[in-house]
Structure 1
Amino acid sequence: MWGRVLAGALGAALVLLLLVLTQVYPETPAHPAVLIFLAATGGAAAVYGLLPLLQSLRQAPAPSPRAERHRLEALYYTAVRLASNLDLDAVLDTLAEALRQVFTYENSAILLYEEDSHELVLVRAHNYDRPLGYRFSADLGVSGRCLRSRRAEIIDDVRTDPYYIAGVASCRSEICVPVLRGGRALGVINIESTEPAAFNTEDLYVLTSLAEIAALAIDNARLHGETVKLARTDENTGLYNYRFALECLREQLAISRRAGKPLTLMMVDLDRFKSINDRFGHITGDAVLRQFARVLESGVRQGDYVCRYGGEEFCIILPGADSRHASEIANRLLTAVRTHPFVDVHGQPLGVPVTASIGLATYPEHGQTEAELRRAADQALYRAKKEGRDRLRTCQAVGS
């Protein structure tokens, strides 16, 4: 039944799209660029996503055959590749490649807008003097002005524009197009040239169309990324959650098995956490857990995985670490927790000692499977707590 409902909804959406097209392009029932985008991205979503594009196409000057051909190629090239891609890095790579190869612009940049900091961040560039990650206030530069005004700009001579911030040595002209989605500014596409007056309305026409497709793809990728993050993240600490921990251990163990390398699973428990909750309340308890999580994160290697296993129990997956190396890391963590200045929810010193207990098990000596490693690390943690807490215990080798 739902299949028929969906099919009917998409059919209605297609009819609506054709009605809109006849209003925008009365001389033809369906514009080729729109049909390409529709085919690549799907009916109902395309109708909504194409409304800004249709408006920009209607407002833009009539293109030459060459510009029309290039625009259609760009729409096809980007829309087909982006339609099934929900990874933001891949989306940005595709857009950068389109600017460089489809349109052969020598100097191009993609900047994304960070609303919290009100900054533009350079995320992709070709032949730019600024490094990736370069950021500046959205109140500055031609790109910032373009973002704020929500209007594309062509600067024939940047030397006459006081807002210009150099991105290319000896730059003389520039074109900036905002990337907009539902009235929200997502970023800017910026093209520069060492020649004066290098850009015309055909370039503007092409880049405006490309920016509309970019906006839809970037927005979808971000939404997907946020959904994935929520599904794998613990809400209080911001660490990976239990579900991710199990998946990660399974995947990393398979990698270690194929590569013939060790892997250590570390179980970490915050000692006497119940007494902290009972004395200071659960709000301060949650604050202590967050601080504890930061201590663990800061004490492991890049590439290790710190997860909240449940309650006051955490686990750390250390790919490539044998028992000796993992023990060194664990002992550093114990010291870091013991000496950390924990505070209550008001920022005042907690005034009570905070310590941790750690149990670890290493593949292959302490277990061959995910279940064996988890059981071995749990047993080691139990020993650490039973023998007085604030200490590390390593599982005994299988068969010993």
Structure 2
Amino acid sequence: MKTKTSGGKNESKLIELTRQHSEALTECVMEIFALYHVSKTLNISLSMDDIFGEAEEQMKELLDITEFSVMLLDNDTSILSVWKASSALYEDIKEITFKVGQGICGLVAETGEPITVGDTGKDKRFVSYGETQQKITSLFSAPLKSRNGKVIGVFNVHKDEPYAFKERDTLIYNAVATHIAQAVENSQLYNKTKNQAITEGLTKLYSKQYFMEVLQHEISDAKRRKSNFSVLMLDVDNFKAINDTYGHPEGDAVLKKIASTLKENTRKGDVLARYGGDEIIVFLRGTDRSKAMYVANKLLDNIRENVNANGGSSKESNGKITISAGVACFPESGDNINDIIKSADKALYAAKDFGRDRACLAPKN
């Protein structure tokens, strides 16, 4: 009888052990399934704005990640800033930044190693962010690393209760961080390649081809909305003489300084492109004839005051740089791309003929 009882107990233990292993295996399979779906969703889009999309809901439902934030690192300033966060958290923390080495996420960015905090109230390294400080009790922070191992950001997961993270949780969240980093890096590489394709190497202005595509789109939009815009065709005065006198490297420096000066003195929505050689073309949305002439003359003043040969911007130099401008407006100067460009070009040559360092307005058609 004792043997049977002992055998029955052993059998019960074996059944219980098998059940536990089965549950653990099922849980493991479900976690792998969840990670697969989150990874797949994160990598659907190459747009930085669209990366998370459905992934946030999947992270909540499949991985129990209810509150999280993703901070990206600016290598030039060594500052971490909030890029994405769970819906309930984002508004509270969107303006928060951390220096590398500051707080838990700053330490993670500095060391490249994950950190788990069981109770933020007892950890002196923890620096709260925003109005959410009372809600964050447990914190897990993992580095986002590029393929070459460089830290590009930090992934934070928060819980309300203390000591909420098990070892298995941190392994999963580390894996999620890896997938987020991959998605971010892919998106950044895509955007860099895209920008290289539409920008000109020397001046970092847009390419002529890209500008013409934008202009064609804006013409259609302006016709539909019955709105106006203006185009400025700019040309460096006596640019050949600059190259002959100071050399082509100095000519390049002058073009770069002109481009940066123009960008600093135009609106964010304006489009500037290198049209060819020393010609730069500018699109001014919602700008009529009088405003366009005002902008053109302001840009001429800025170039005259800030750009010189022999150093690009040295005010001690005698090599004063000036530009001329031709101004064409939609719809007065033309209602199609060819007529607008021709009108701006003719106005530019008129400015040259009248003595340079001035702006001329294209006549109404």
- TM, length-normalised to structure 2: 0.83
Structure 2 distance, partners of 1:94, 1:291, is 44
Q: Which residue of 2 aligns with 1:174?
A: 139
Q: Does 1:118 align with 2:75?
A: no
Q: 1:92 to 1:76 in 2, by over 3 A?
A: closer
Q: Which residue of 1 aligns with 2:30?
A: 69
Is the 8 Å Cα contact of residues 253 and 312 (structure 2) preserved in structure 1?
Answer: no
Q: Which residue of 2 aligns with 1:146?
A: 108
Structure 2: runs of 5+ lacking an equivalent: 1-22
Q: Which residue of 2 aligns with 1:89?
A: 49
- Spell out, residue by residue over 1:298-346, the C-alpha distance to the aligned partner (whole angstroms, 9 max, x if none): 2222311011111211000112222222122112112222222536338
Q: In the alignment, residue 174 of structure 1 is paired with which amino acid?
A: L
Match of 1:392 among 347, 359, 363: 359
- Spell out, residue by residue over 1:19-46, the C-alpha distance to the aligned partner (whole angstroms, 9 max, x if none): xxxxxxxxxxxxxxxxxxxxxxxxxxxx
Q: Which residue of 2 aligns with 1:45?
A: none
Matches within 5 A, 1:172-211: 172-182=137-147, 183-211=149-177
Q: 1:130 to 1:341 in 2, by over 3 A?
A: farther
Structure 2 distance, partners of 1:293, 1:229, is 17
Residue 89 of structure 1 aligns to a residue whose secondary structure is: coil
- Spell out, residue by residue over 1:206-232, the C-alpha distance to the aligned partner (whole angstroms, 9 max, x if none): 322222221221111111111111111
Q: Which residue of 1 aligns with 2:328?
A: 361
Matches within 5 A, 1:17-166: 65=26, 69=30, 72-73=33-34, 75-79=36-40, 81-92=41-52, 98-99=58-59, 103=63, 105-126=65-86, 127=89, 131-132=93-94, 134-166=96-128
Q: In the alignment, residue 169 of structure 1 is paired with which amino acid?
A: Q
Q: Which residue of 2 aligns with 1:41?
A: none
Matches within 5 A, 1:333-348: 333-340=299-306, 342=308, 344-345=310-311, 348=314
Shift of 1:297: 1.3
Q: Does 1:249 align with 2:215?
A: yes
Q: In the alignment, residue 322 of structure 2 is paired with which amino acid?
A: T
Q: 1:317 to 1:238 in 2, by over 3 A?
A: same
- TM, length-normalised to structure 1: 0.76
Q: Cα RMSD (Å) of the superposition? A: 2.6
Structure 1 distance, partners of 2:292, 2:62, is 50
Shift of 1:159: 2.9
Farther off after superposition, 374-383 or 270-279: 270-279
Farther off after superposition, 88-97 or 205-214: 88-97
Is the 8 Å Cα contact of residues 250 and 310 (structure 2) preserved in structure 1?
Answer: yes
Structure 2 distance, partners of 1:148, 1:262, is 51
Residue 216 of structure 2 aligns to a residue whose secondary structure is: helix
Alignment length (residue pairs):
336
Structure 1 distance, partners of 2:313, 2:327, is 33
Q: Does 1:378 align with 2:338?
A: no
Q: 1:102 to 1:360 in 2, by over 3 A?
A: farther
Shift of 1:374: 0.7
Residue 88 of structure 1 aligns to a residue whose secondary structure is: coil
Farther off after superposition, 267-276 or 378-387: 267-276
Farther off after superposition, 263-272 or 344-353: 344-353
Farther off after superposition, 92-101 or 291-300: 92-101
Structure 2 distance, partners of 1:163, 1:274, is 61
Match of 1:269 among 225, 232, 235: 235
Q: In the alignment, residue 340 of structure 2 is paired with which amino acid?
A: L
Residue 296 of structure 1 aligns to a residue whose secondary structure is: helix
Structure 1 distance, partners of 2:297, 2:43, is 49
- Spell out, residue by residue over 1:267-291, the C-alpha distance to the aligned partner (whole angstroms, 9 max, x if none): 0111112222222222222221122
Q: 1:131 to 1:332 in 2, by over 3 A?
A: farther
Q: 1:163 to 1:242 in 2, by over 3 A?
A: same
Farther off after superposition, 324-333 or 366-375: 324-333
Is the 8 Å Cα contact of residues 154 and 200 (structure 1) preserved in structure 2?
Answer: no
Q: 1:261 to 1:393 in 2, by over 3 A?
A: same
